[in-house]
Structure 1
Amino acid sequence: MQPYLFLLMLLMIGFIAKNQSLLIAVAVLLLMKLIGLDDKLFAAVQSKGINWGVTIITIAVLVPIATGEIGFKDLSDSLKSPFAWIALISGVLVALLGKSGLILLAEDPHITTALVFGTIAAVALFNGVAVGPLIGAGIAYTAMRVFEQFQ
């Protein structure tokens, strides 16, 4: 009963915050539970969902290349800007943080609860985007390793 109450609470938060992503995610999970798909499907989504999400995001980011909207000339022109170099370095750092996040989520699953709660709060209250757990885990992993060096 507790999972249903928790999900219904999140559904209400998503509704109040007018956050479509949270509403859809919670509705899908509730539907999966109600029709009994939660046993096998939840395990698959939990273990592979982040990779599926990253793949979908990667596809979305690559669409302008596939449509010809962005080409080699655009790439070479953009690298003349200092802001493009900042974006390039940021992309590298985020990818490395994401990699560290995967390590942390695999090694310390109890941390997931705090990360998920933080992500839900950011999505529901601040109109954030639910990429937080992976990047948050990467930031946490990096901070934890730095903290360990000073212990």
Structure 2
Amino acid sequence: MISHATLFMLILMGIAIVAKNQSLLVAVLFLLVVKWVGLGDKLFPLLQQKGLNIGVTVITIAVLTPIVTGDIGFKHLAEAAKSSYAWIALGSGVLVALIAANGIDLLQNDPHITVALVIGTIFAVAVLNGVAVGPLIGAGVAYLTMKAVTFFMNLGG
């Protein structure tokens, strides 16, 4: 008999295939293989506790790679300082990082939010031609939206 968890993952895998979402497909396959080979009891707690930090580290490595390869250097930094669009991008980077920080807390404290974010991301990618940017910024935006709703609800009494 197939477990509810496995069925859920297989449904997500089907959605990933239909939506052509390679990241989700790889994640689902990885987790299912870990479960099926019996490593889940040891690896899943680690992934739940440290997974987001590991993911952020991998993304940071990807962002810093052009610096270490020499594709981006001080010359580019000096040129960017002269561009108003670069200053907008700098501010946007700061804002997104701060929003995503709240997303980490939300994902760790409300795991059911992760499912909703994944489904929303898959929908946007599959139907609206969106780009999967990951659950952190989505969780951060959700966090800010929930705080705004709470704030306005409390104003009413």
TM range (shorter): 0.7 to 0.9
Name the counterpart of 2:41.
Answer: 39
Length-normalised TM-score, structure 1: 0.87
1:51 to 50, 53, 69: 53
2:12 to 5, 10, 13: 10
Shift of 1:104: 2.0
Matched-pair contact (CA < 8 Å) for 1:14–1:23: yes
Q: Residues 16 and 123 (structure 1 numbering): CA distance in 2 closer, same or farther, change over 3 Å? A: same
Task: Letter of the 2:19 partner, please give it.
Answer: A
Q: Tell me the percent identity.
A: 57
Alignment of 1:1-150 (within 5 A): 1-123=3-125, 125=127, 126=129, 128-129=131-132, 131=134, 133-150=135-152
Length-normalised TM-score, structure 2: 0.84
Q: Residues 99 and 76 (structure 1 numbering): CA distance in 2 closer, same or farther, change over 3 Å? A: same
Q: Residues 22 and 112 (structure 1 numbering): CA distance in 2 closer, same or farther, change over 3 Å? A: closer
Q: Which runs of 4 or more aligned residues in structure 1 lie more than 6 Å from their structure 2 counterparts after TM superposition?
A: none
Following the alignment from structure 2 to structure 1, what is the Cα–Cα distance between the partners of residues 46 and 30? 14
Q: Residues 130 and 27 (structure 1 numbering): CA distance in 2 closer, same or farther, change over 3 Å? A: farther
Task: Calculate the aligned-residue CA RMSD, in Å.
Answer: 1.9
Range with bigger deviation, 42-51 or 108-117: 108-117
Structure with larger RCO (C-alpha < 8 A, sep 6+):
1
Q: How many residues align?
A: 150
Q: Residues 147 and 91 (structure 1 numbering): CA distance in 2 closer, same or farther, change over 3 Å? A: same
1:98-124 C-alpha deviation (Å, 9 max, x unpaired): 111122223433433322332343455
Q: Any stretches of 5+ residues in structure 2 without a counterpart? A: none
Shift of 1:91: 0.3
Matched-pair contact (CA < 8 Å) for 1:22–1:123: no
Range with bigger deviation, 8-17 or 27-36: 8-17
Matched-pair contact (CA < 8 Å) for 1:105–1:111: yes
Following the alignment from structure 1 to structure 2, what is the Cα–Cα distance between the partners of residues 135 and 102? 9
Shift of 1:146: 2.0
